[in-house]
Amino acid sequence: MGELDFDHYLNRLIMRRLIASGRECTGVDALYDLLGHLYLQSSHTGFPAKVLAFLKLCLCHGISVRQAASVFRLEKLEPMEKQLISLLNRQMLSTAELIQCAQKDIKQLKNNDELMECLYQDDDTDCESLIIESRFSETSIPVLTAITNLYLKQQVEFDIL
């Protein structure tokens, strides 16, 4: 590699969509710039996988039952976090779609068709216009906060489509 500066390599990674970045004047706008184009999915693991992991910790790694049980302790979720998780349990949604669902007080979506009916009602609404509209929504800050908390609690994963 040549003697190019860090920004050059960082910009190449961003262009190839290997990493995401957010740049704006305020922290909330930078966070939206970072998360606005990303899709979220619930990282819910099933009961059998948890039991297997618990047994592996206890038997293979010699961790006490109490310590192993503390790993699987669930943190209490806030109401907005619960609403977002219930939406994400059925399908992958973008940050902008989650903001619009929260603004319209949608608690659950049965399928992709219902999502299209609720959020993409007219011909002028597309993914990009929804991202722009959601940036200035009154529910964007609580939803961004909930998404960040869910990520830190390892309840959701990000993806780029």
pTM: 0.74
How many domains does the chain contain in total? 1
Go through 139-152 and write b for each residue having 16 or more CB atoms within 10 A of its CB, e for each that does not. Answer: bbebbbebbebbee
- 132 in any annotated domain: yes
- 15 in any annotated domain: no
What is the per-residue pLDDT for 2? 57
- 74 in any annotated domain: yes
C-alpha to C-alpha distance for 24 and 140, rounded to whole angstroms: 15
C-alpha to C-alpha distance for 97 and 127, rounded to whole angstroms: 9
What is the per-residue pLDDT for 67? 86
- 67 in any annotated domain: yes
* Tokens linked to 115: 């999502």
Length of the chain measured in residues: 161
Range of the domain at 66: 26-159
- 21 in any annotated domain: no
- 5 in any annotated domain: no
- 9 in any annotated domain: no
Each residue's pLDDT expressed in tens, for the chain with a length of 161 residues: 556 777 787 788 878 877 777 777 777 888 888 888 888 988 877 778 778 888 888 888 888 888 888 877 777 889 999 999 988 887 888 898 899 889 888 887 777 777 777 777 776 777 777 888 888 888 999 999 999 999 888 889 988 87
- 103 in any annotated domain: yes
- Backbone phi and psi for residue 79, each to the nearest 5 degrees, phi listed first: -55, -40
